[in-house]
Amino acid sequence: ELCFCSPRFHGQGFQEGLAEGSHAGMAEGRRYGALHGARMGSEIGCYLGFALTWRCLLQKCTDEKNRKKMRALDSLIGMLQKFPYEDPTYDKLQEDLEKIRGKYKQVCSMLNIQADFRIGNERSSLTF
């Protein structure tokens, strides 16, 4: 025997399912955002620490070769300081992050350092 549920139960079930799915999706979205935001912050922080350290190490060297390295480091530092990591709605976030990665690789090449930034489980490492 077929049983047809009344439209009222169908509508109520739909609304309950929609509410539950929205709640679960919101929680999953928050976890995803927090994880990827933390990774991006770790990456930006490592690049900035790297650039500031090398800038200190090279500031007493005044030959032309080192002045070029300093200009590249200053450019990277400027990009990092202007990066709007606190604004998740910034529409060029990924584009600017790729530019920073490219500048970081350029600086590493100028310093004869292997550019290898990795994020592992719960930790980040910058290896030379």
Residue 69 lies in a domain: yes
65 is in which domain, residue-wise?
A: 41-111
For the chain, the domain total comes to: 1
pLDDT tens digit sequence for 66-109:
899 999 999 999 999 999 877 878 889 889 999 999 999 999 99
Token reading at 113 = 């350092």
Residue 1 lies in a domain: no
Q: Which residue has the tokens 């200053």?
A: 74
Residue 8 lies in a domain: no
Cα three-residue angle 52-72-63, rounded to 5 degrees: 95
Q: Note the pTM of the prediction, 2 decimals.
A: 0.70
Coil/strand/helix, residue 116: strand
Task: Provide the H-helix boundaries in the chain.
Answer: 7-58, 64-82, 93-110
Residue 31 lies in a domain: no
pLDDT tens digit sequence for 42-65:
999 999 999 999 999 998 887 888
Residue 93 lies in a domain: yes
